[in-house]
Amino acid sequence: MITGASSGIGEAAAKELASKGAKLVLAARREDRLKKLQEDIQNQGGQAIYKVTDVTSHEQMEELAAYALTEFGKIDVLINNAGLMPNSFLYKKQIDDWNKVIDVNIKGVLDGIAAVLPSMRERKSGHIINLSSVAGHVVGPTSTVYAATKHAVRAISEGLRKEEYSNNIRSTIISPGAVKSELTESITDPDVKAAVGEMYKGAIEAEAIARAIAFAIEQPADVAVNEMLIRPTHQER
Ligand SMILES: NC(=O)c1ccc[n+]([C@@H]2O[C@H](COP(=O)([O-])OP(=O)(O)OC[C@H]3O[C@@H](n4cnc5c(N)ncnc54)[C@H](OP(=O)(O)O)[C@@H]3O)[C@@H](O)[C@H]2O)c1
């Protein structure tokens, strides 16, 4: 089950995992993108279903998990990937953006975990992969609120690991550096957008992160890849 499957890393992960035989449940808000991805996967011989889902809705996340359980009987892996990065200076008081990024990047991850944990605990098996970022390790100007959410994702993932390892549930943090995707489109301040655009000139393909996700999933059940940091070779910070 992948949130934010309609573009970037989520879409690349869906294609990578489908090519390896995973049965996918794709989630995001843009139905046209999900439908096209489902068709692409099916045309390549893979299996995917989708459900339009807003991760900021606890109810919709519960419905997504219920749909996955009805269709496939179990949820082996949740990839909490949906995210926004509307970077700005604090003094600009872009409070709507702060609220949105906290709702999607933190509460969305928590609601994803809440939706899948009961069935994973019952089966004593499961894997939850949360997308953090280099910004979950390093804070820079304009990325303050985004970095706070990505630090929170790492804290949540580590707490989840400590609470659920004895139930055989694996927790993985994936922390990418600059990756080509639509992520920088949520930046509204033109100066910040230009500065981030400079950094993203060296961005790597989303497939690099998809391969890392697949690696974590493919390990034997007694091996938990708890964290990966994946930067472009030429990215300094
Ligand atoms: N690209 C990078 O450089 C980079 C670096 C570090 C970490 N990351 C993290 O990687 C993850 C994926 O980002 P990306 O780079 O692939 O960006 P992206 O291309 O912008 O994809 C973001 C995805 O999140 C979904 N999304 C946003 N708000 C949502 C909501 N309320 N409900 C459901 N889905 C929502 C979007 O789908 P809809 O709009 O269709 O809902 C989209 O599929 C994010 O968590 C991001 O923070 C990315």
The predicted-structure confidence for 203-235, as pLDDT tens digits, reads as follows 999 999 999 999 999 999 999 999 999 999 999
pLDDT above 90 (res 146): yes
- Give me 167's structure tokens: 């139930």
pLDDT for the residue 96 = 97
- ∠ CA(71), CA(78), CA(171), 5° rounding? 145
C-alpha of residue 8 to centroid of ligand 1, in Å: 7
Helices (H), the chain: 8-19, 31-43, 58-72, 95-102, 108-123, 144-164, 190-199, 206-218
- pLDDT (average), residues 43-53: 98
- pLDDT (average), residues 20-40: 98
Is-contact 83 105, C-beta < 8 A? Answer: yes
Instruction: Please count the other Cβ atoms lying within 10 Å of the Cβ belonging to residue 95.
Output: 9
C-alpha of residue 164 to centroid of ligand 1, in Å: 26
Edge-first strand order for the sheet with 77-80 is 47-52, 23-28, 2-3, 77-80, 126-131, 169-176, 227-230
Q: With a 6 A CB cut-off, is 8 part of the ligand 1 pocket? A: yes
Which domains does the chain carry? Answer: 2-230 (3.40.50.720)
Instruction: Map tokens 């280099």 to a residue.
Output: 134
Q: Which ligand 1 atom is at minimum distance from the Cα of 34?
A: 40
Cβ burial, residue 137 (10 Å; 0-12/13-18/19+): middle
Q: With a 6 A CB cut-off, is 79 part of the ligand 1 pocket? A: no
Residues labelled catalytic: 146
- ∠ CA(130), CA(19), CA(221), 5° rounding? 50
Q: Which ligand 1 atom is at minimum distance from the Cα of 200?
A: 3
Instruction: State the Cα–Cα distance between residues 121 and 125, nearest whole angstrom.
Output: 7
- pLDDT (average), residues 167-180: 98
pLDDT for the residue 93 = 97
**Average model confidence (pLDDT) across the chain:** 97
pLDDT above 90 (res 237): no
pLDDT above 90 (res 129): yes
Cα 120 from chain centroid (whole Å) = 19
Is-contact 206 11, C-beta < 8 A? Answer: yes
Instruction: Please count the other Cβ atoms lying within 10 Å of the Cβ belonging to residue 32.
Output: 8
pLDDT for the residue 236 = 87
C-alpha of residue 234 to centroid of ligand 1, in Å: 23
Q: Which ligand 1 atom is at minimum distance from the Cα of 55?
A: 32
Q: With a 6 A CB cut-off, is 182 part of the ligand 1 pocket? A: yes
Helices (H), 44-189: 58-72, 95-102, 108-123, 144-164
C-alpha of residue 220 to centroid of ligand 1, in Å: 28
Interhelix angle 8-19/31-43, rounded to 10 degrees, is 20
